[in-house]
């Protein structure tokens, strides 16, 4: 862990979009406020605060102009960690990778004094810890994430039932073996969230190394299928999984959502860096 | 279709193992996957899943077929066609090599089983001549029915005899019907061969001799195998003293082993091969040396020089009498001064007449002559040039062999009648320098050896022992069995020591050894003899029950199936 945190120490999390709501903080917002960042002049309108009138401009133009400054807000980072049973798969394990990535992002958020909320996503969205600010929360957060055990099915729509999402970045760490991803992404975008999709798959999911007659058991549902796996079938599966990934990527790109795909044999620091937009 | 080795079918018990191994290999493995929907899409697109299952069962079927054909090949199948004919001659080999044991059964037992199986294929009304092939092959059943043959073969035992090819061809040449030969050897005669057993993995002692002059015993061992063999050969005397030698014998070769300084006091030497092989009967050989096994020679009358010469020959037992009289004693050779007709009638032995009868003498001559030896029997170590003295020339009959001549006239003639061999010599050595020459004892020894074609009292299994008329002869075999010899000659079969008694007095000991090989007179069989035999036999509209070995075909089929299986296996992956 120590080594991992050292690796990501220099990464900075920043939103690509300007924040539109939330408490006053140190990140540029879309609105106008009382920061020192001058934005421009506009004609005085009745009802404006007369303290904002630029008297020097009045002396030159004999018109009243108001000086406007950019507002600064607090950025909120939401990390949604998929804890369905399908995450407990592969070698290296997907869940272990997802935990590391979630901890890394949490560390970066807390380090740069942004507000952090961490959720787990199973059959419903569960809060691990909300509205944390400052590095002091990190030691508390680590055991909470580590103790979480992947189990059950995923209900991604449960994200839409959560209405307390603050303005900022929402990281969703999952394998995205779901069906209604598009709706959820639409919902998050409509809430002004900058969404980052971190899709993790194990190498075995991309290239299954099984052979011959197999009874396939779904980890989440327990459903079974019989299949005779030969070279041609493997090739067909690989084609299907490539198509699935391509579909996920398209869903994100058409909504201007940052999409990061990684296999579990990648270094967690590299995944965090890609998620933060550094590389 | 029939099987030469039905026990090969026992291998079929292993076939279920193929099925078990196949299904164990193909057992469904449970695998957990993270998202089944993608697999569902794959499964929907694979319509060939069922055909792959068929391939899987096709593979199993091919494996089972291969296994089955291998089992069938081990059982050595033959295809036998129906027999169409009225009469057939069956020649059953019962010579020594048929005693070879393979898989706890002797080849002879297998041969009998084969014959029984063969009889089943034949029609009920077929007539069968049954011939036993051995040293004196003979027809033991003539125009017999199937059941009669079946009963007879149950009473037949395998012998320790050699197979005399010439006699076998002689006997079979009289057959006027198709001949079926059942043997473990590749025999050149017969219309159909049923081969029993595989290659003969055997080592055997073929001969043993003792040289009384150098006191050396010689033993010859033959390797019948196609591979070189190392054998430990043991020599043992009757007092239990033993010595061993290790011999490396190349395939199908004979190697001699010799032991020197053997005490002349020894009575019997026993050579034995220490390794066990398929044919144990020829692993032991008895070499008689004692006086009781030496040739008994009776010298009738006085002849000083001859007596001295005879006494110098170490391997004969000479007895001297003034006159021949009626005694139970049997002699191998009687040396007479004159032709006494009465004694000749009595003796029924080999006789050497030193003075030929008057009717045989042509004229009496005196002078120097150079005797010329005509027979190979006398040439050994002999040089009689410059012979000087009296001699008579004698008349040689057509059936008599002239062994020595002088000036073109016969001096020594030898004949053979039903009582034994006889020899007339007309050399009057009392009035010549011949007895003083070193060649004289050699000449005497060579003349004596003319009477004996085999060394000492050694007999082979299959030799006949003829009874003496008017005498009550009994013989005690090596197993202790007592048999009375009357009129019918006795076949000496079991190797070992036999004791002959005449009128309850022990007369002679005989040593019977296993034959010096498994085949004899093979070289005497000519193509002409075989073709003549066939010409006489193949008459009439006869179709033999023919058999064709199917093993090679099945092995080819197995190879083809293996190729097909490989193709199916490759197609699956």
pLDDT, tens only, B196-223: 888 888 999 998 988 888 889 999 999 9
pLDDT in tens, B159-170: 999 998 888 888
DSSP helix/strand/coil, A223:
coil
Residues with Cβ within 8 Å of residue B368, at least 6 apart in sequence: B386, B387, B388
pLDDT above 70: residue B553: yes
- pLDDT range class, residue A19, cuts 50, 70, 90: low
Chain A partners within 8 Å of B37 (Cβ) = 177
The CA-to-CA distance between both ends of chain B, in Å, stands at 39
Partner B contacted by A206 (CB < 8 A): no
pLDDT above 50: residue B351: yes
- Give the best residue of B39, B40, B52, B571 to mutate against chain A (max A CB count within 10 A): B39
pLDDT above 50: residue B100: yes
Neighbours of B431 (CB within 10 A): 12
- pLDDT range class, residue A30, cuts 50, 70, 90: low
Tell me what the pLDDT averaged over chain A comes to: 85
Among A262-276, B333-347, B499-513, the least confident range: B333-347
As a whole number of Å, the CA-based R_g of chain B is 34
Of A163-177, B207-221, B318-332, which has the strongest mean pLDDT? Answer: B207-221
Distance CA A206, CA A159 (A): 27
Neighbours of A193 (CB within 10 A): 21
Instruction: Count interface pairs A-B at CB distance under 8 A.
Output: 89
Distance CA B410, CA B396 (A): 7
As a whole number of Å, the CA-based R_g of chain A is 23
Q: What is the mean pLDDT of residues A245-250?
A: 92
Q: What is the mean pLDDT of residues A85-105?
A: 91
- The DSSP bridge partners found for residue B141 are B130
In the 8-state DSSP scheme, what is residue B543?
B
The CA–CA distances, whole Å, from B273 to B266, B269, B280, B281 equal: 20, 13, 9, 10
Distance CA B465, CA B498 (A): 11
State what percent of residues in chain B have pLDDT above 90: 13
More confident residue, A3 or B406: A3
Cβ B226 vs Cβ B199: under 8 Å: yes
Residue in B with minimal Cα distance to A202 = B34
- The DSSP bridge partners found for residue A125 are A121
A233/B32 Cβ within 8 A: no
Partner B contacted by A230 (CB < 8 A): yes
Tell me what the pLDDT averaged over chain B comes to: 81
Q: Which residue, B53, B49, B55, B38, is CA-closest to A208? A: B38
Q: Which residue, B285, B283, B291, is CA-closest to B315? A: B291
Distance CA B423, CA B404 (A): 11
pLDDT above 90: residue A190: no
B32/A219 Cβ within 8 A: yes
Partner A contacted by B572 (CB < 8 A): yes
DSSP helix/strand/coil, B180:
strand
- Give the best residue of B22, B23, B24, B35 to mutate against chain A (max A CB count within 10 A): B35
Per-residue pLDDT at A97: 92
Following DSSP, what letter does each residue of A144-174 receive, concatenated? HHHH----S---GGGGGG---PPSEEEEEEE
Chain B partners within 8 Å of A151 (Cβ) = none
Per-residue pLDDT at B536: 43
Q: What is the mean pLDDT of residues B418-434?
A: 81
Kind and range of the H or E run holding A195: strand A194-201
pTM of the model: 0.52
State what percent of residues in chain A have pLDDT above 90: 25
pLDDT above 70: residue B329: no
pLDDT above 50: residue B527: yes
A241/B53 Cβ within 8 A: no
pLDDT above 80: residue B132: yes
Of A162-171, B308-317, B376-385, B530-539, which has the strongest mean pLDDT? Answer: B308-317
Kind and range of the H or E run holding B565: helix B551-572
Q: What is the mean pLDDT of residues B256-279?
A: 89
Q: Which of B33, B46, B56 sits opposite A218 (nearest CB)?
A: B33
- pLDDT range class, residue B337, cuts 50, 70, 90: confident
Partner A contacted by B27 (CB < 8 A): yes
Chain B nearest-CA distance from A217, in A, is 5
A89/B28 Cβ within 8 A: no
More confident residue, B50 or A154: A154
HSE, CB side, 13 Å, CA atoms: give it for residue A255.
26
Partner A contacted by B54 (CB < 8 A): no
A221/B45 Cβ within 8 A: no
pLDDT in tens, A80-92: 999 999 889 888 8
Distance CA B535, CA B173 (A): 10
Cβ A44 vs Cβ A64: under 8 Å: yes
HSE, CB side, 13 Å, CA atoms: give it for residue A263.
10
pLDDT above 50: residue A24: yes
- pLDDT range class, residue B348, cuts 50, 70, 90: low
Cβ B331 vs Cβ B347: under 8 Å: yes
pLDDT above 80: residue B77: yes
- pLDDT range class, residue A222, cuts 50, 70, 90: confident
Q: Which residue, B517, B498, B506, B507, is CA-closest to B286? A: B498
């Amino acid at each position: 862990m120590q080594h991992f945190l050292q690796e990501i120490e220099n990464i900075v999390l920043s939103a690509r979009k300007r924040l539109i709501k939330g408490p006053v903080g140190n990140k540029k917002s879309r609105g106008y406020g009382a920061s020192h960042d001058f934005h421009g002049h506009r004609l005085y309108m009745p009802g404006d605060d007369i303290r904002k009138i630029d008297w020097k401009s009045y002396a030159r133009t004999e018109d009243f102009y108001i000086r406007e400054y950019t507002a600064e807000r607090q950025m909120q980072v939401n990390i949604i960690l998929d804890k369905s049973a399908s995450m407990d798969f592969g070698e290296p394990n997907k869940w272990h990778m997802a935990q590391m990535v979630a901890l890394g992002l949490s560390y970066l958020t807390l380090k740069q004094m942004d507000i952090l909320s961490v959720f787990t996503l199973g059959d419903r969205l569960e809060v691990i810890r909300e509205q944390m600010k400052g590095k002091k929360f990190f030691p508390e957060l680590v055991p909470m994430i580590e103790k979480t055990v992947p189990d059950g099915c995923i209900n991604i729509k449960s994200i839409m039932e959560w209405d307390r999402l603050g303005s900022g970045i929402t990281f969703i760490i999952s394998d995205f073996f779901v069906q209604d991803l598009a709706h959820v992404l639409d919902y998050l975008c409509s809430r002004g969230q900058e969404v980052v999709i971190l899709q993790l798959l194990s190498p075995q999911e991309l290239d299954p190394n099984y052979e011959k007659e197999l009874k396939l058991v779904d980890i989440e549902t327990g459903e079974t299928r019989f299949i005779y796996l030969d070279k041609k079938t493997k090739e067909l599966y690989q084609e299907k999984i490539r198509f699935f990934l391509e579909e996920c990527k398209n869903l994100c790109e058409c909504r201007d959502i940052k999409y990061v795909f990684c296999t579990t044999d990648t270094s967690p620091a590299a995944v965090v860096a890609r998620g933060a937009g550094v590389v | 279709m029939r099987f030469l080795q039905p026990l090969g079918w026992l291998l079929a018990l292993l076939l279920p193992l193929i099925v078990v191994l196949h299904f164990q290999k193909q057992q469904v493995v449970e695998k957990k996957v993270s998202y089944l929907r993608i697999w569902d899409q794959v499964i929907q697109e694979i319509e060939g899943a069922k055909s792959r299952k068929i391939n899987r069962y096709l593979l199993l079927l091919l494996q089972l077929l291969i296994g089955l054909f291998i089992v069938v090949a081990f059982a050595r199948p033959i295809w036998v066609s129906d027999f169409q004919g009225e009469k057939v001659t069956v020649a059953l080999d019962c010579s020594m090599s048929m005693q070879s044991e393979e898989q706890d059964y002797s080849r002879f037992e297998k041969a009998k089983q084969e014959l029984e199986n063969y009889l089943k294929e034949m029609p009920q009304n077929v007539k069968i001549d049954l011939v036993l092939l051995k040293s004196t092959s003979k027809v033991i059943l003539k125009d017999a029915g199937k059941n009669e043959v079946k009963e007879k073969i149950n009473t037949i035992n395998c012998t320790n005899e050699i197979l005399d090819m010439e006699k076998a061809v002689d006997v079979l040449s009289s057959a006027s019907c198709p001949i079926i030969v059942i043997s473990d050897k590749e025999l050149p005669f017969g219309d159909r061969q049923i081969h029993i057993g595989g290659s003969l993995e055997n080592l055997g002692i073929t001969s043993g001799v003792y040289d009384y002059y150098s006191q050396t015993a010689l033993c010859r061992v033959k390797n019948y195998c196609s591979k070189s063999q190392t054998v430990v050969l043991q020599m043992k005397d009757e007092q239990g003293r033993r010595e061993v030698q290790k011999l490396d014998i190349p395939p199908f070769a004979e190697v001699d082993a010799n032991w020197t300084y053997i005490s002349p006091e020894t009575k019997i030497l026993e050579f034995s091969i220490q390794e066990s092989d398929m044919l144990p009967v020829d692993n032991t050989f008895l070499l008689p040396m004692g006086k009781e096994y030496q040739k008994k020679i009776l010298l009738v009358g006085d002849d000083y020089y001859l007596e001295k010469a005879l006494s110098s020959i170490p391997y004969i037992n000479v007895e001297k009498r003034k006159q021949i009289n009626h005694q139970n004693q049997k002699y191998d050779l009687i040396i007479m001064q004159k032709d006494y007709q009465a004694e000749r009638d009595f003796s029924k032995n080999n006789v050497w007449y030193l003075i030929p009868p008057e009717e045989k003498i042509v004229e009496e001559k005196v002078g120097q002559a150079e005797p010329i030896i005509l027979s190979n029997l006398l040439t050994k170590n002999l040089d009689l040039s410059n012979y000087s003295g009296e001699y008579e020339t004698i008349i040689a009959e057509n059936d008599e062999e002239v062994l020595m001549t002088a000036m073109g006239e016969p001096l020594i003639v030898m004949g053979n009648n039903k009582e034994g061999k006889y020899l007339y010599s007309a050399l009057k050595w009392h009035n010549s320098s011949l007895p003083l020459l070193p060649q004289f004892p050699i000449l005497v020894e060579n003349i004596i050896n003319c009477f004996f074609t085999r060394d000492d009292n050694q007999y082979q299994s299959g030799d006949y022992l003829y009874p003496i008329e008017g005498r009550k002869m009994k013989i005690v075999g090596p197993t202790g069995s007592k048999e009375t010899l009357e009129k019918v000659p006795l076949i000496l079969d079991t190797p070992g020591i036999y004791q002959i008694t005449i009128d309850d007095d022990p007369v002679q000991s005989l040593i019977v050894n296993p034959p010096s090989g498994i085949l004899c007179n093979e070289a005497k069989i000519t193509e002409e003899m075989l073709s003549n035999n066939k010409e006489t036999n193949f008459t009439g509209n006869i179709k033999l029950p023919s058999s064709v070995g199917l093993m090679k075909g099945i092995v080819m089929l197995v190879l083809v199936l293996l190729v097909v299986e490989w193709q199916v296996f490759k197609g699956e992956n």
